[in-house]
Structure 1
Amino acid sequence: MFMQRRIEESFSRQGFLTLLGARLLSVTPGEVTLGVTLRPEFSQQHGAGHAGISFTLGDVAAGYAALTQIEPGMEVMTSEMKIHLLRPAIGDELIAKGSVIKSGRRLIVTRADVFARRGAEEVLIATLLGTMVPVAADL
């Protein structure tokens, strides 16, 4: 329960996520899932969701997955994040599923898969791989 509350409290302080209308869908040890409705203002010139939305959602899901693995009083920051854009983001919403690949004292290797959902169908549109660094919560 502490882990869920910790992630929820941190999530609620992220102004950019509030602006996007991002939602915290699930939190389990080493895994976090987020969602955002694809709105017209999130599109790029071809009408698909902009890659920046996919990147943001994947980065945040991976970061919160890492946060579930570290001690209280610590936070994480992204040190490096790579994205593979696999398909256009066409759908009603994006779902990002972040997970921890390996958790260490100094580095946490993460991944996130981003899906475009249209009705009941989910299509993988991007995969991210990154490194999170534990930092003191009182930056």
Structure 2
Amino acid sequence: MQEQLHKLLDEVLAGADEEETLSIKQLLNGVKRKQNHINESIIGGIYAMDKCSEDGNFTISIPITAVTHNSLNIVHGGVTATLVDTAMGTLANMMLPEGYGAVTTNLSIHYLAPGIGEELTASATIVHKGSKTMVVDGKVINSAGKVVATSTGSFFIIKKQ
């Protein structure tokens, strides 16, 4: 397996332009971030998600790179949705007692502006916390402070097995 991986990496790097080389570096650094426990998941590592929680505010930021771009060279809507869902889900899980988790049951997102600039930051706030469900609002802004998307997520509270 390792030999096949090295061969594939060599082949891809041999034909890669600068943007593709930087993307490969970001993907590999993402795996390293997961291995070093900087991020809890591979996807969090690949997007270099940085979490911040202070004074009751919770945010996750990602750099805008070729890995986040769609064919129009703006952030892909699915990346924006992943970012805000991760922020809302992480906050929901932070509010639960040990042994419980929250999973997304519904995600509504409204795209308001293109994802451009240096980074995107998603913030999340609890709207409702019941015994079986939670509702969380989210907002994504770019590095210039422009709102890129707003979102609402519903989460089902489950007992971990």
TM-score band by shorter chain is 0.7 to 0.9
Residues in 2 aligned to 1:37 and 1:122: alpha-carbon distance in whole angstroms: 14
Which residue pairs with 1:16 in the alignment?
Answer: 43
Which residue pairs with 2:153 in the alignment?
Answer: 130
Query: Which amino acid in the other structure matches residue 25 of structure 1?
Result: C
Q: 1:80 to 1:59 in 2, by over 3 A?
A: same
Residues in 1 aligned to 2:150 and 2:130: alpha-carbon distance in whole angstroms: 22
Which residue pairs with 2:13 in the alignment?
Answer: none
Higher Rg of the two aligned structures: 2
String of CA shifts for 1:82-133, please: whole Å, max 9, x gaps: 110000001100000011101000110011100111xxx2110001111011
Alpha-carbon RMSD across the aligned residues, in angstroms, is 1.8
Q: Which has the higher strand share?
A: 1
Which residue pairs with 2:88 in the alignment?
Answer: 62
Contact 2:132–2:158 (Cα < 8 Å) also in 1: no
Which residue pairs with 2:8 in the alignment?
Answer: none
Which structure 2 residues correspond to residues 1-139 of structure 1 after superposition, within 5 A? Answer: 12-26=39-53, 29=56, 31-117=57-143, 121-138=144-161
Q: 1:14 to 1:51 in 2, by over 3 A?
A: same
Residues in 1 aligned to 2:78 and 2:55: alpha-carbon distance in whole angstroms: 26
CA-CA distance at 1:62 after TM superposition:
0.5
Query: Which amino acid in the other structure matches residue 44 of structure 2?
Result: L
CA-CA distance at 1:68 after TM superposition:
2.4
Q: What TM-score, normalized by structure 2, do the two folds share?
A: 0.72
Contact 1:27–1:33 (Cα < 8 Å) also in 2: no
Instruction: Count residues with an aligned counterpart.
Output: 125
Q: Give ranges in structure 2 of 5+ residues lacking alignment.
A: 1-36
Query: Which amino acid in the other structure matches residue 104 of structure 2?
Result: T
Percent of aligned positions that are identical: 22
Q: 1:15 to 1:23 in 2, by over 3 A?
A: same
Q: 1:111 to 1:36 in 2, by over 3 A?
A: same
Query: Which amino acid in the other structure matches residue 129 of structure 1?
Result: T
What SS does the aligned partner of 1:61 have?
Answer: helix
